[in-house]
Chain A
Amino acid sequence: MKHGAIWVRPFYYLVVFAVATISLYPILLMILSSFKKSVDIYKNPLGLPTSFSLDTYRTLLSKIPFTTYFMNSIFVSVISVILIVVVCSLASFYIARFNFSWNHALFFIFLLGMMIPIKLGIVPLFILMRDLGLINSLWSLILMNTATGIPLSMLILTGFFKTMPYELEEAARIDGAGNLRVLWHVVLPLMRPALGTVVIINFIAAWNDFFFPLIFITEKMKRTIPVGMMSLFGEHSADWGSLFAGLTLASLPMILLFFIASKQFMEGLTAGAIK
């Protein structure tokens, strides 16, 4: 790289800056627009808001039970992610670290779920949920998020499990450790990066899902954030300032959470995954 040494670095920075600008601009636009009046959004889309009043947010929050939606979303997302991590760690450990003859088939069956739009099965699902008494229960969402999160999580976890060296595991087994103990004390700690990926991908999916809450939840107080915010589209189709405030409110918890946990996530997603 010698001959290019002078321009290569600046070029790299130029690229990452340009892409980062494109990545962040729409989000910035959303936040800025939430402080604008509708008319300004049309007439002067590039301009900065003329004043930073929080009034739109105040009226919005007085209209919708945001805290309730927020708690519902947190409850659903957290429990879903915990369930996914537990059941998928167990299952992918089984598939990746043992050589039973049916493991390939089993893995394949788990992957099938990624290949069909689950929306197809909404009527059988609705009947199932009704029979389980889970219509209008947040547990219907948790079960759906968990089940639909399994295929991708299995793919990621099994892939990473396979790349891990066996030596450590064997050492533990020679010490007489059982399967659960090997998984819990030896394998999982090494799997932190892959688990991080699974956690964030599923958390985002659970947080943003709006199809199942739309179908399974009709009670207002059981709604999650995306559905709660969707009703704003109908109520404020002419008042884009409020609409943007609503969208910002819907996205902000996830963005804040991301920044708080960013270090973990990023380490989880990248830190020398394949050793």
Chain B
Amino acid sequence: MREPTASTLKRKSWARWTIHLFPIPALILYGMFVLYPILAALSYSFFEWKGMARGDFIGFRNFVTLFTTEPYGSMFWNAFKHNVLYFVLQMVVMNGLAFFLAFIIYQKIKGAEFFKAAFFLPRLLSVIVVGFLWKLILNPNFGTLNVILEKLGLETLQKAWLGDPGTALIAIILVNCWFGLGFGVLIFLAGFQGIPSELIEAAKLDGAKGFTLLRTIYLPLMVPSIMIMGILTFIQSFEAFELVYAMQGSMGEPYYSTDTLAVFFYRLAFGSSTASGTTAIGLGSALATVLFLFILVCTTVFLRFANKKDVQM
């Protein structure tokens, strides 16, 4: 932080009371349309629900049910594991690849603008469109992926990608990586371009090159962008919903192999998407509360850790 104390004092003296009006519009909008409804709904978790009618205050009983009654307990941990895999794979595959691609573009290759745009293009599509397209590509009998494998003589690798519990979740996560890659590239590229060129020149003069240069100069200076992407990926992984819902439905098919906490939440709070759905609003709210607290605690710890290491967000 570049904050000479003298100028801080001066700024304070400049700051008139009107400055306190600055955050008000954002606070009002955010408070009314995000905080209030969420807090109201979180309170549902402490009530008994009969279908859609609210019953008595029952303290933490919904939370107890969620973790101790089958099938909820095993569904929770099953979904939780999937969220963890979601996070790990996205960090490694999506952010790793995005970092590498950003590094390549940073080397001033020809057509950099085109590539940046190409990587970002999927991010423009609606999740409905993304889900539909990939469902078609991964379709075992009409899908282009299996057709390509066949043309390459790799029939043995052909699979019902989204119907096989061994590949369905990974397929969904990779589609998510495809979707989010371009955003990562842009964030990392901004990071690379923010590195003062003098530092690089100096290191090069010292004889650093290739991997050493990457490790000693680029990586440490890229920590802020890696942090941003890390936190965003974490939150997004633990709230993963739309793609699973669009491609595998509200049951996390096949046989809960693509279930995530947010899909589980949706199923509880709104009923499964088939005609026979029933709702368990109390349990759904309890799950959302747990999910929220988990993300909150992890992010806080992460930010503390980041602050200690003197990294600014």
* B residues 121-170 touching A (CB-CB < 8 Å): 121-130, 132-134, 136-137, 141-144, 147-148, 151
Helix, strand, loop or mixed for chain B's interface?
helix
Distance of A148 Cα from B121 Cα, bound (Å): 23
In the complex, are the beta carbons of A16 and B105 less than 8 A apart?
yes
Check: B42 CB closer than 8 A to any chain A CB: yes
* B residues 71-124 touching A (CB-CB < 8 Å): 97, 100-101, 104-105, 107, 109, 113-124
Binds A, one of B56-64, B182-190, B248-256: B182-190
In the complex, are the beta carbons of A150 and B29 less than 8 A apart?
yes
Quick one: CB contact mask for A234-251 with B, threshold 8 Å, 1 for yes? Answer: 000000000100010011
Given the known inter-chain contacts A90-B23, A112-B296, A120-B265, please indicate yes or no for A128 contacting B288, CB distance below 8 A.
no
In the complex, are the beta carbons of B122 and A117 less than 8 A apart?
no
In the complex, are the beta carbons of A166 and B19 less than 8 A apart?
no
* A residues 127-167 touching B (CB-CB < 8 Å): 128, 143-144, 146-148, 150-152, 154-155, 158-159, 162-163, 165-166
Distance of A27 Cα from B68 Cα, bound (Å): 45
Number of B residues with CB within 8 Å of any CB on chain A = 104
Which residues on the B side are within 8 Å of A109 (C-beta)? 35
Quick one: which of A29, A97, A266 has the most chain B CB within 10 A? A266
Given the known inter-chain contacts A1-B209, A121-B37, A269-B186, please indicate yes or no for A19 contacting B101, CB distance below 8 A.
yes
In the complex, are the beta carbons of B126 and A45 less than 8 A apart?
no
Given the known inter-chain contacts A15-B100, A30-B133, please indicate yes or no for A166 contacting B7, CB distance below 8 A.
yes
A-B contact count (CB 8 A): 275
Check: B241 CB closer than 8 A to any chain A CB: yes
Check: B274 CB closer than 8 A to any chain A CB: no
In the complex, are the beta carbons of A250 and B148 less than 8 A apart?
no
The residue in chain A whose Cβ has the minimal distance to the Cβ of B111 is A16
B194 touches which one: A29, A155, A272 (CB < 8 A)? A272
Check: A82 CB closer than 8 A to any chain B CB: no
Distance of A170 Cα from B107 Cα, bound (Å): 36
Check: B309 CB closer than 8 A to any chain A CB: no
In the complex, are the beta carbons of A94 and B122 less than 8 A apart?
no
- Using CB atoms and an 8 Å cutoff, list the residues of chain A in contact with chain B: 1-4, 9, 12-13, 15-16, 19-20, 22-24, 26-27, 29-30, 41-43, 45-46, 83, 86-88, 90-91, 93-95, 97-99, 106, 109-125, 128, 143-144, 146-148, 150-152, 154-155, 158-159, 162-163, 165-166, 170, 173, 178-179, 193, 197, 201, 204, 207-208, 210, 226, 229-230, 243, 247, 250-251, 254-255, 258-259, 262-263, 266, 269-275
18 other A-B residue contacts (CB within 8 Å) besides A24-B118, A146-B33, A148-B34: A20-B118, A23-B182, A29-B133, A43-B142, A113-B30, A115-B235, A117-B239, A117-B241, A122-B37, A128-B37, A147-B30, A147-B32, A154-B26, A163-B194, A226-B128, A251-B124, A272-B194, A274-B224
